[in-house]
């Protein structure tokens, strides 16, 4: 390692013309540069406090600045060196959103935002990173997927993993807020193995709507579900079903079947895989991997493959074993209310009461749900096949409705805020929905023809036609016409050329399917008129209409159906 | 360090009831757990490929899972331990946006978005982090403020520092895009010393609009500035001035005054401080810290304190020294065009041609600008004081217009995309504006009375009035009425109580200044009517109007001035 003396240091660095190549060699070995900066800083402060002469202080300040420059210069130079060799890409599992994709995404955002606001939702926007300890112990096995920021001194932080934990942290930090309907559409981060084509990303959007507060049972739950139905309907995702279950029914089932208390969550995780795996695989996981007794697993099967409409609730209530479990009985009452309320909201037919739905996250305490679509499983089954798959005994691995990812999910979580609150009794019960925006985007992107999405919103392209030596290109005139259009809220563009050709201007307008052109003809404009022409028609089939310039705005507003 | 043998390992971990306290002690010392997981995984794969018996495979799979559980369990346990002791806060320099703040912020977003779209702008959304090397060497001295992600294996990444470099990276990655008007409103990250009350944050919003492409000179530049004026006008930020300069004029000034080429950028940085420091301080920085000759500094002073309207351009052109510099002469032509175009757009009066504006960032190559507002410096000066501060010789440290932060800035940068492009000649010239949203927010937040901002958008609160033993509380009826309102796009809420009191319902509605109530009276509703009452009036001063339920929606739409 290159070691340099204080003498070399002071002589070399006070020369004002810095030799960068030399400095860079040194910079690479300058592990103690920070120490030198600190000690030079101390020297300056000490001179000042001793009332040293201005000249002396300035001299030492100059040395300090050069030291700092050296430190920075070093990293900058090596940065420049890299410029010729770096990989031009976004980080693994991330993407740029642009062009028609971003237009469709904005349509999804504005559609759901409108619905959230219609139900009194307000926005909460939290930082993209949280203190590391806020996220610790909230995500179970998935904690390993959390992105940490580098320790650059100061606090240890991690990128948010979802929007729910930051919401709970905010509620705990703001004890005056005892109730809120909040929505949040933002990116979250998971260091997962990405599968870009399947919409599994490391950076992806979540879209959450949650209702927090102490209310009469199941009323906020039913409104959250009503919001979910309205959103999926408005987005036109196609046929979908919302699977519905209650954690306390599920836990009751496990208890009466004989699952030990400390195994309930892990057995619940196994059951949750029934939408991807056949019963035999799930059973093997329970018995072989998780050490459950075979007869307990077989008893569980009798319950968890049940699904249906609200009549299934009667069947469960009539079950003598299950009705002995107080937790399950409380949940039956919840479900009865919920079905009543969903009926009042006119959305009951969208739900399937499904005992196999368990949901992975630990923090749910009440109802849980998951919306699945048929859009990516279009195969029509014969009635025999249908019957087969409705049979709880059937192997579900060939069921096409299985394996389709959920497009929305959620549930009630009454204890999460309490995990953050200073007082242990400061609980705020919550229920919420989360829409899988990227999956919904994929479904819609494949359904909507490309030509139905316009990449920009421009209504009018302002053009100049003319020729000959006298012709100026009407640049300032086009600017002035655009100024008038913009002032009236009309979206307009013109070509950034002094003397543009007609073809160039039509091409620019056609690129974004701009519906109208305002043409400044050489002679016509001189006489105070502009030509308004509808675009997208066969060339020369429409000469457009000549209107006095002062009527241009009102004619266009009528054509564009503004206000 | 605790070392355990393979024998201990296999016997202890195949017991199905895990002793967590014991395991945790071991887990703390398990530096090689990943290796063990890998080798156990290999064993399982090898057994499978050899066609081993199911029992044998299951046994080894179970061991593998227990190993994985051990690894995760360790971190989870320590996470839970922390839960009782963590600090409940957002990371330093970050904040939650909520309530009326977020409503005002959304108003700012939608206002500028509408203007960007009116000019043909399209959205580009890039990841919140970039490969570290993409950001290297782009920010000069400020590179030390970049947030890095922790090295958790794989790529090294950093949080974006601005929106410009990601935009340039995207352009370089997409060579088919030769022109675009893009806007991007998103958070950026700087590990700066935060000053929250002054709006200096570590996580803050930037709002950029840029025009990329090869066009005739100064046309996109003038439209970018027109967009800036429209945005600041629409936001009603109060009186503002946009300082304007050209890097090539400034560089010409430095050259003709005798600044050595390799000192031009650093002297330019010193000049940029003239809005915060008096000339004497800037001169000292140039001479003492940066080693500029005294006579060169004094010559610079004659130029950089000049400011005025477009007539200043004539003065500069008439300067025999400056007009000998070809770079400056080229820039004069640019400025002449720009002033013409700004006049055509009707915004010339908003600009001040100001030789002291230099801008910190290295990458600007043409015009540069910065908008400053008087909103936070309301002191009115006497005409004598005004004259004094207009005098270029005057000490500017007491000038109240100095020290007000800029609310927007930008410039032309023709070489940034080329820094990323594979072919060195693949340049895409760009010009852009960046609005300082947080500063604009602070100005507006202090100007707009709190009561003028509604925290949510709800138009109607649906209530039930009644009493006695027979009264049900009309919960399902309120749900059904809300359902009809929502279906018609009317924003509505109801209280989540089975039997709410009138006072509770009025309080809930008043909390968000909901303008109308729909009241389901016990007898009236039974007869098919609802009462529509305007809120915010003196109690009992308005009984509202009784309307048949089927007319409720149309009456409300009229009252709310929907469509």
Are A267 and A394 in a shared domain? yes
Residues on chain A touching B103 (C-beta within 8 angstroms): 122-123
Same domain assignment for residues B429 and B366: no
Could you say which of A61, A117, A141 has the minimum Cβ distance to residue B457?
A117
* Contact: B219, A497; criterion CB under 8 Å: yes
Mean pLDDT score, B491-514: 96
Q: What would the mean pLDDT of B500-516 be, rounded to a whole number?
A: 95
Cβ–Cβ of A419/B96 closer than 8 Å?
no
Do residues B387 and B245 both lie within one domain? yes
Contact B263, A17 (CB under 8 A): no
A25 CA to centre of own chain = 45
Q: Which residues pair with B546 in a beta bridge?
A: B531
Q: Which residue of B has its CA nearest to A157?
A: B91
CATH number at residue B105: 3.30.930.10
CB B130 within 8 A of CB B166: yes
* B55 lies in the same domain as B128: no
pLDDT of residue B109: 97
Is residue B87 a part of any domain in this protein? no
Determine the pLDDT at residue B385.
45
Asked, for residue B1, whether it belongs to a domain, the answer is no
Q: Is residue B532 helix, strand or coil?
A: strand
> Chain B: residue nearest A156 by CA?
B91
Same structural domain, A400 and A439: no
What is the number of other CB atoms lying within 10 angstroms of the CB of residue B345?
21
Give me the residue from A143, A189, A344 closest to B76, CB to CB: A143
Map residue B388 onto helix, strand or coil: helix
Touching check for A134 and chain B: CB below 8 Å?
yes
Q: Given an 8 Å threshold on Cβ–Cβ distance, is A134 in contact with B86?
A: yes
Same domain, A129 and A145: yes
Residues 247-276 of A with CB under 8 A from B: none
- Exposure string for B524-560, b = 16+ CB within 10 A, e = fewer: bbeeebbbbbebeeeeeeeebeebebeebbebbbeee
| CA-only gyration radius of chain B, Å | 33
Give CA–CA dist B367/B377, Å, rounded.
Answer: 27
Taking an 8 Å cut-off on Cβ atoms, the answer to whether A125 and B147 are in contact is: no
Look at residues B82, B112, B140 and tell me which one is the last residue of a structural domain.
B82
A490/B89 Cβ within 8 A:
no
User: Looking at the 3D structure of chain B, how many domains does it have?
Assistant: 4
Which two three-digit tokens encode residue B348?
């010339």
pLDDT in tens, chain A (563 residues): 333 333 333 333 333 223 333 333 333 333 345 556 666 777 777 777 777 777 777 777 777 766 555 444 333 333 333 344 568 899 999 999 999 999 999 999 999 999 999 999 999 999 999 999 999 888 877 889 999 999 999 999 999 999 999 999 999 999 999 999 999 999 999 998 877 666 678 999 999 999 999 999 999 999 999 999 999 999 999 999 999 999 999 999 999 999 999 999 899 999 999 988 999 999 999 999 999 999 999 999 999 999 999 999 999 999 999 999 999 999 999 999 999 999 999 999 999 999 999 987 778 999 999 999 975 443 333 334 444 444 444 444 344 443 447 899 999 999 999 888 766 556 899 999 999 998 899 999 999 999 899 988 899 999 999 999 889 999 999 999 999 999 999 999 999 999 999 999 999 999 999 999 999 999 999 999 999 999 987 655 678 999 999 999 999 999 999 76
B226-to-A480, A555, B115, B221, B345 alpha-carbon distances in Å: 12, 25, 10, 9, 7
Would you tell me which residues 439-478 of chain B have a C-beta closer than 8 angstroms to some C-beta of chain A? Answer: 455-458, 475-476
Please check whether residue B543 touches A, CB under 8 A. no
Does A493 sit within 8 Å of B119, measured CB to CB? yes
In a 3-state reduction of DSSP, which class is residue A78? helix
Any A CB within 8 A of B371 CB = no
* Residues of chain B positioned with their CB less than 8 A from the CB of A103: 122-123
A81: closest CA of chain B, how far (Å): 9
Is residue A497 assigned to a domain?
A: yes
Q: Does B161 touch chain A (CB under 8 A)?
A: no
Contact in structure between B432 and B211 (CB atoms under 8 Å): yes
Asked if A129 is an interface residue toward chain B (Cβ–Cβ < 8 A), one would say: yes
* B409/B244 Cα distance (integer angstroms): 10
Chain B: residue nearest A476 by CA?
Answer: B344
Res B75: pLDDT: 32
Residue A217 lies in a domain: no
Q: How confident is the model over B194-199, as a mean pLDDT?
A: 68
Q: Which of B72, B129, B340 sits opposite A91 (nearest CB)?
A: B129
Cβ–Cβ of B476/A340 closer than 8 Å?
yes
Which chain B residues are closer than 8 Å to A86 by Cβ?
131, 133-134
- State the sign of the Cα–Cα–Cα–Cα dihedral B347, B349, B351, B355: positive
The rounded distance, in Å, linking the Cα atoms of A213 and A138 is 21
Tokens for A376, please give them.
């990516």
| Separation of alpha carbons A440 and B111, rounded Å | 28
Say whether both B404 and B256 belong to one domain. Answer: yes
Test A127 with B88 for CB contact under 8 angstroms: no
State how beta strands B406-413 and B367-373 pair. Answer: antiparallel
Q: Which candidate, A79, A85, A83, A67, places its Cα nearest to that of A26?
A: A67
Q: Decide if A53 touches B, using CB distance below 8 A.
A: no
3-class DSSP state of A185: strand
Q: What is the pLDDT of residues A244-299, one digit of tens each?
A: 999 999 999 999 999 999 999 899 999 999 988 999 999 999 999 999 999 999 99
Mean pLDDT, residues B354-368: 91
Contacts of B420 (CB under 8 A, 6+ apart): A83, A88, B134, B168, B169, B171, B172, B173
Chain B CB contacts of A513 under 8 Å are none
CB contact under 8 A, A220 and B496: yes
Interface test with A, best of B58, B102, B111, B137 (most A CBs within 10 A): B137
B187 close contact with A: CB closer than 8 A: yes
Residues from chain B that touch A151, judged by Cβ atoms under 8 A, are 150
How far apart are the two ends of chain B, measured CA to CA in Å? 75
Is B5's pLDDT higher than 90?
A: no
What is the residue-wise DSSP string for A439-484?
HHHHHHHHHS-GGGS-SS---EEEEEE--STT----HHHHHHHHHH
Instruction: Give B82→chain A minimum CA distance, Å.
Output: 7
**Positive/negative CA dihedral, B549, B551, B553, B555:** negative
| Residue numbers in A near B458 (CB within 8 A) | 120
* Tokens representing residue A369 in the block: 């749900």
Write down the ipTM of this complex: 0.80
Q: Does a structural domain hold residue B25?
A: yes
Q: Which DSSP symbol is given to B120?
A: T
Interface residue of A76, A155, A499 to substitute, partner B, most B CBs within 10 Å: A76
* CA–centroid distance for B86 within its chain: 28
Q: Could you read off the pLDDT of B383-410 as tens digits, one per residue? A: 344 444 444 444 443 444 434 478 999 9
Q: Phi/psi zone of residue B87: left (φ > 0), alpha (ψ -120 to 50 degrees), beta?
A: beta
B456 vs A480: CB contact, 8 Å cut-off? no
Which CA distances in Å does B95 have to A173, A538, B106? 12, 55, 16
Residue B323 burial by CB count (10 A; 0-12/13-18/19+): exposed, middle or buried? middle
- Structure letter (DSSP) for residue A277: S
Whether chain B has a CB inside 8 Å of the CB on A426: the answer is no
Kindly tell me if the per-residue pLDDT of B82 is higher than 90.
no
Q: How far does B387 lie from chain A, in Å, by closest CA?
A: 33
Kindly state whether residue A420 falls inside one of the protein's structural domains: no
- Residues B102, A122: C-beta atoms closer than 8 Å: yes
- Which has the higher per-residue pLDDT, B229 or A378? B229
Among A residues 339-358, those touching chain B with beta carbons less than 8 Å apart: 340-341, 344-346
Residue, of A117 and B139, whose pLDDT is higher: A117
**DSSP at B550:** G
CA distance between the termini of chain A: 74
Q: What is the residue whose two structure tokens read 């043998």? A: B5
Q: What is the pLDDT of residue B503?
A: 95
Q: Are residues A252 and A388 in the same domain?
A: yes
Identity of the residue in A144, A191, A215 whose CB atom sits nearest the CB atom of B72: A144
List of chain A residues whose C-beta atoms are within 8 Å of the C-beta of residue B234: none
Separation of alpha carbons B116 and A157, rounded Å: 35
Inspect the interface and report whether the beta carbons of B173 and A88 lie closer than 8 Å. Answer: yes
Say if CB B259 and CB B325 are below 8 A apart. no
List CB contacts (< 8 A) between A155 and chain B.
91-92
Report d(CA B28, CA A457) in Å as an integer: 58
Q: Which residue has the tokens 């096409």?
A: A400
Quote the CA–CA distance of A414 and A432 in Å, as a whole number. 11
Q: Residues of chain B with pLDDT > 70: what percent? A: 80
> Same domain, yes or no, for B14 and B57?
yes
C-alpha pair distances (Å), B150 with each of A141, A156, A191, B130, B159: 20, 10, 12, 13, 11
């970039």: which residue's tokens?
B130
**Domain limits at B434?**
95-212+425-453
- Residue A330 shares a structural domain with residue A370: yes
What pLDDT is stored for residue A536 in this prediction?
81
Are B274 and B399 members of one domain? yes
**Residue at B62 is within a domain:** yes
Give yes or no: residues A389 and A247 share one domain. yes
- B61 in a domain, yes or no? yes
What would the DSSP string read from start to end of A346-381? Answer: T-GGGEEEETT---S-TT--SEEEEEEESTT--PPP
């Amino acid at each position: 390692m290159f070691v340099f003396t204080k003498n070399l240091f002071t002589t070399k660095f006070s020369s004002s013309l810095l030799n960068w190549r030399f400095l860079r060699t040194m910079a690479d070995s300058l592990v103690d540069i920070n120490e030198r900066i600190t000690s030079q800083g101390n020297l300056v402060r000490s001179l000042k406090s001793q009332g040293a002469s201005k000249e002396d202080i300035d001299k030492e300040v100059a040395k300090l600045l050069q030291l700092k420059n050296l430190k920075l210069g070093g990293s900058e130079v090596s940065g420049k060196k890299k410029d010729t060799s770096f990989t031009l890409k976004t980080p693994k599992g991330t993407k740029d959103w642009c062009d028609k994709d971003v237009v469709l995404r904005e349509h999804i955002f504005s559609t759901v935002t409108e619905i959230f606001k219609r139900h009194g939702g307000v926005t909460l926007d939290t930082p993209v990173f949280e203190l590391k300890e806020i996220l610790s112990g909230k995500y179970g096995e998935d904690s390993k997927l959390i992105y940490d920021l580098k320790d650059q001194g100061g606090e240890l932080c991690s990128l948010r993993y979802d929007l729910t934990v930051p919401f709970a942290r905010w509620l705990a930090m703001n004890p005056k807020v005892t109730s809120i309907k909040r929505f949040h559409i933002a990116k979250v981060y998971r260091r997962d193995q990405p599968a870009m084509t399947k919409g599994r990303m490391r950076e992806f959007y979540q879209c959450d709507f949650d209702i927090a507060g102490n209310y009469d049972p199941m009323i906020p739950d039913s409104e959250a579900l009503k919001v979910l139905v309205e959103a999926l309907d408005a987005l036109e995702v196609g046929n979908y079903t919302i699977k519905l279950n209650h954690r306390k029914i599920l836990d009751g089932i496990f208890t009466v079947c004989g699952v030990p208390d400390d195994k309930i969550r892990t057995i619940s995780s196994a059951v949750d895989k029934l939408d991807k795996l056949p019963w035999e695989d799930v059973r093997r996981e329970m018995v072989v991997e998780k050490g459950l007794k075979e007869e307990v697993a077989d008893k569980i099967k009798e319950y968890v493959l049940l699904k249906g409409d609200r009549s299934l609730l009667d069947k469960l209530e009539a079950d003598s074993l299950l009705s002995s479990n107080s937790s399950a009985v409380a949940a039956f009452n919840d479900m009865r209310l919920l079905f009543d309320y969903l009926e009042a909201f006119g959305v009951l037919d969208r739900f399937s009461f499904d005992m196999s739905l368990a949901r992975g996250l630990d923090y749910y305490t009440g109802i849980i749900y998951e919306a699945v679509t048929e859009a990516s499983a279009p195969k029509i089954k014969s009635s025999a096949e249908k019957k087969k798959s409705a049979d709880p005994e059937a192997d579900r691995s060939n069921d096409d409705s299985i394996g389709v990812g959920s497009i929305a999910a959620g549930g009630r979580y009454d204890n999460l805020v309490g995990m953050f609150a200073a007082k242990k009794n400061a609980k705020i019960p919550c229920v919420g929905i989360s829409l899988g925006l990227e999956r919904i985007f994929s479904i819609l992107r494949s359904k909507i023809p490309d030509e139905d999405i316009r990449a920009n919103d421009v209504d009018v392209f302002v053009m100049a036609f003319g020729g000959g030596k006298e012709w100026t290109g009407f640049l300032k005139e086009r600017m002035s016409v655009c100024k008038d259009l913009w002032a009236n809220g009309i979206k307009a563009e013109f070509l950034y050329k002094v003397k543009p050709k007609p073809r160039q201007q039509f091409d620019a307008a056609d690129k974004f399917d701009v519906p109208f052109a305002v043409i400044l003809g050489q002679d016509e404009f001189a006489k105070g008129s502009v030509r308004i022409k509808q675009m997208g028609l066969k060339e020369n089939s429409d000469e457009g209409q000549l209107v006095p310039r002062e009527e241009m705005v009102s004619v266009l507003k009528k054509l564009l159906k503004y206000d």
